[in-house]
Amino acid sequence: MSDSPFGSEITAASILEDLEFFDDWEDRYRYIIDLGKKLPPMPDALKTDANFVHGCQSQVWIHADYQADSNTLNFLVDSDAHIVRGLAAMVMAAFNRQSPQAALDFDVDAYFAQTQLIQHLSPTRGNGLKSMVKKIRQAATLALG
């Protein structure tokens, strides 16, 4: 999981900066889909019911790995839909390689408000995004003990 660029080279701040360059939503969607292509592959063995994200329109899996020595959460994520993989990549940029407390403290609503993304997603995609964040925060809570 350490080979993921998300949370190190690709961050929430860098995504917000990149999105400012696009004038229309078609270009922004293309950018988001391209982000999804940069996600490291998730082995099929991790696509379990325990890692399945309920509440998403598409199939989504998130696997959390807490590294106590560095106090960081590392995630693998996958989806069967290109745009959802891109949305998951945006989530990974904010949460991957963060401490459990930082994951709980991150203002994801402000992040997505800055992207203006929520108003351009269907309600079911928006709910799926919230379900991904909920699963990540559950992993963070568990890591904190």
In residues, how long is the chain? 145
Architecture of domain 12-144: Alpha-Beta Complex (3.90)
Q: How far apart are the first and last CA of the chain?
A: 22
The pLDDT score that the predictor gives to residue 118 is 75
Q: What is the pLDDT of residues 84-110, one digit of tens each?
A: 999 999 999 999 999 999 999 999 989
Q: Is the pLDDT of residue 138 over 60?
A: yes
Q: Where are the domains of the chain?
A: 12-144
Residue 123 has pLDDT above 90, yes or no: no
SS3 23: coil
Report the distance separating Cα 105 and Cα 39, nearest Å.
24
User: How many CB atoms lie under 10 A from the CB of residue 34?
Assistant: 12
Residue 56 falls in the annotated catalytic set? yes
Rounded to two decimals, what is the model's pTM? 0.92
Spot the catalytic one: 39, 56, 60, 76. 56
Taking the C-alpha atoms of residue 56 and residue 53, their distance in angstroms, rounded to an integer, is 7
Q: 14-23, 33-42, 125-134: which has the minimum mean pLDDT?
A: 125-134
Q: How far is CA 86 from CA 30, 38, 89, 94, in A?
A: 9, 9, 5, 13
